[in-house]
Amino acid sequence: MSLALPDDGKPVRRTAILDAAEAQFAQHGYDGVNLRAIARDAGVDVALANYHFGKKRDLFDAVLMRRAEVLNAWRLKALEDALSEARPNPPSVEAIVRAYLRPLLTGSHVTEPGWKHYYALIAYVNNSTEWGGKLMTQFFDPLIIQFIDALRLSLGGVDEKALYWSYHCFSGALTLTFAETGRIDLLSKGLCHSDDLAGAYEHVVRFITAGFESIRPT
Amino acid sequence: MSLALPDDGKPVRRTAILDAAEAQFAQHGYDGVNLRAIARDAGVDVALANYHFGKKRDLFDAVLMRRAEVLNAWRLKALEDALSEARPNPPSVEAIVRAYLRPLLTGSHVTEPGWKHYYALIAYVNNSTEWGGKLMTQFFDPLIIQFIDALRLSLGGVDEKALYWSYHCFSGALTLTFAETGRIDLLSKGLCHSDDLAGAYEHVVRFITAGFESIRPT
DNA sequence: TCCCCACTTCAACAAGTGTTGAAATATGGC
DNA sequence: GCCATATTTCAACACTTGTTGAAGTGGGGA
């Protein structure tokens, strides 16, 4: 069963362009990609990308937006579940961290290459000095604020700066891990594997949870 | 007083090209930069970059290598200091984390724009699916292995996979923080500032130290 | 003075870039 | 079938790209 992506169904060429662009942008970055390569991978003419999405930059935004909406919905659902399960108490830090991470791994999309490309793309955007700040804010912050609210509640009277910097560390660790750059494979001499996200999951949850817990007021 | 960069002194034009390339690559990524812009910023002819460094890719490597050697030396010194201070016991996790971080902040170079550009460049490389794995390994892993050895000693009988994944989280958090993307400014609505690395320092140290401590066998 | 050398500039090539307007084709309502 | 509209292709423009070979410059040693 296919995912309920906004443009499922008829416009098969439109989706093919998005998929090809997603893969290319993820692998080579915005400037490392040319529209002819995207069109070739999608099996369409160069001009068609322009017809459907306008300029190259608009195509990039469209790629980013498509799965952002889906991912945000999944994460919101996971957060609400965690909140209602713990009610009337706030959920544990670990439960919140898991609510943030689990949607990246569960469901039918774990093996779908499109999502893996998307994760790499997010890492690229998040670490970009050009539009890193603005684009991440635009697409993800409304939801992230809710997660930070939940963390604040769970930790109780925490220092605000410490809270934001902790999330920042979380964000960096997460995007790098899901980008699957192959770095940990080389560093660990084959012991760990970048593409084993399920194996990385518990380690990341533990590391991040402990980081957040360290700012809990005593 | 200027830093003892390998190419201080006579070849002022060579260094100017490296500086300009460093700033451009950090801001726009490898493919987002053209040699004419670098040459213009450096105040030299386009062909001169080719004369000194060969192809564009070789210039990129030269930029990366220049400060890597300096940074690795500083970090090695800091690690050795931590080890000798704690002898005969292993140093604390926090001391090792500080030895890894402090060289990024101390000394005359904190305000030097060149190093800030370099940190952003490292974030770009680290998260790149194209050469992230290979380049980071080539330039930094020999030293990083020594830090991981120290952490293993300090934590005592730790699970190897957990150790490597923890370092991976560390790496992602660190490179994002020092890239100064402006993201935390927007997310925290002006409470935190990307360019206040000194202010971020203690928060990052605490978060990362707690993450590593969480894998210590009980 | 002359020559050798490292360094620097000039001018240009060949390939590739995003973008566009017009033409061709498909689609669906009547 | 017919027409309006949406989609797709074609061909091309104007511009930028990395790279190169030849020419020019300056200084130091013989």
Residue-wise pLDDT for A7-57, tens only, equals 344 578 899 999 999 999 999 999 999 999 999 999 999 999 999 999 999
C-alpha R_g of chain B: 19
Q: Is B175 exposed, middle or buried (0-12, 13-18, 19+ CB in 10 A)?
A: buried
- For B77, other C-beta atoms within 10 Å of its C-beta total 12
Alpha-carbon distances of B67 from A22, B28, B143, B174, B175, rounded to whole Å: 33, 19, 14, 17, 15
Query: Residues A135, B138: contact at Cβ < 8 Å?
Result: no
- A57 φ/ψ sector (left φ>0, alpha ψ -120 to 50, else beta): alpha
**Encoding tokens for residue A183?**
């770095």
The position carrying tokens 């997460």 is A174
Partner-chain contact B161 A194, CB within 8 Å: no
Q: Which two tokens stand for residue B21?
A: 């390339």
Q: Residue B110 has what pLDDT?
A: 66
Q: Chain B residues with CB inside 8 Å of A172's CB?
A: 172-177
First-to-last CA distance in chain A?
49
The residue with tokens 């320092």 is: B201
Round to whole Å and give the CA distance between A26 and A29.
6
Residue B4 pLDDT = 31
Asked if residue B7 has pLDDT above 80, the reply is: no
* B14 CA, D23 C1': Å apart: 22
A180 neighbors A195 (Cβ within 8 angstroms): yes
Q: H/E element holding B112?
A: none
How many Cβ atoms from other residues are within 10 Å of residue A172's Cβ?
A: 30
* A108 — pLDDT class (breaks 50, 70, 90): low
Mean pLDDT for the stretch of residues B16-38: 96
Chain A within 8 Å of B138 (Cβ-Cβ)?
Answer: no
Q: Do A32 and B27 touch (CB under 8 A)?
A: no
Q: How far apart are CA A55 and CA A67, in angstroms?
A: 20
Nearest CA to B132 among A31, A114, A120? A120
Buried b (16+ CB within 10 A) or exposed e, A43-59: ebeeebbeebbeebeeb
Using a 7 A cutoff on CB, list residues near strand C: A 33-37, 46-47, 50, 55-57; B 11, 13-14, 44-48, 51-52
Please give the protein residue whose CA is closest to the C1' of the nucleotide D11: A47
pTM value is: 0.91
Is residue A193 pLDDT above 90, yes or no?
yes
Q: What is the amino acid identity at position B153?
A: L
Minimal CA–CA distance to B1: which of B107, B118, B101, B114? B107
Angle (nearest 5°) at CA B144 between B173 and B133: 70
Phi and psi torsions of A11, nearest 5°: -70, 70
- Show the tokens assigned to B215: 């894998």
Neighbours of A111 (CB within 10 A): 7
Q: Give A13 CA → C18 C1' in Å.
A: 20
Closest CB to A208 among B161, B203, B211: B211
- A31 and B32 within 8 Å at the Cβ level: the answer is yes
Q: Are the C-beta atoms of A38 and A49 separated by less than 8 Å? A: yes
pLDDT at B2: 31
Confidence (pLDDT) at B218: 83
Q: Is A29 exposed, middle or buried (0-12, 13-18, 19+ CB in 10 A)?
A: buried
Across A107-111, A132-136, B85-89, least confident range: A107-111
For residue B57, the chain A residues in CB contact (below 8 A) are: none
Portion of chain B with pLDDT greater than 90, in percent:
86
**Model pLDDT, residue A112:** 82
Cα(A28)–Cα(B130) distance, integer angstroms: 7
A37 interaction partners in chain B (CB closer than 8 Å): none
Distance between CA atoms of residues A215 and A163, nearest Å: 8
Model pLDDT for residues B117-176, shown as the tens digit of each residue? 999 999 999 999 998 779 999 999 999 999 999 999 999 989 999 999 999 999 999 999
Which helix (H) or strand (E) segment holds residue B33: the answer is: none
A52-62 tens-digit pLDDT: 999 999 999 99
CA distance A199 to A203: 8
Residue B146 burial (CB count, 10 A): 16
pLDDT digits (tens, 9 = 90+) for A131-187: 877 999 999 999 999 999 999 999 998 999 999 999 999 999 999 999 999 999 999
Q: Are B18 and B63 in contact (CB under 8 A)?
A: yes
Output phi, psi for A87, to 5 deg: -50, 140
Query: Alpha carbon B159 to chain centroid distance?
Result: 26
Q: Which residues contact B204 (CB under 8 A, 6 or more apart)?
A: A165, A169, B101, B173, B174, B177
User: What is the spatial distance, in angstroms and rounded to an integer, between the CA atom of A47 and the C1' atom of D13?
Assistant: 14
Q: B214–A209: do the CB atoms touch at under 8 Å? A: yes
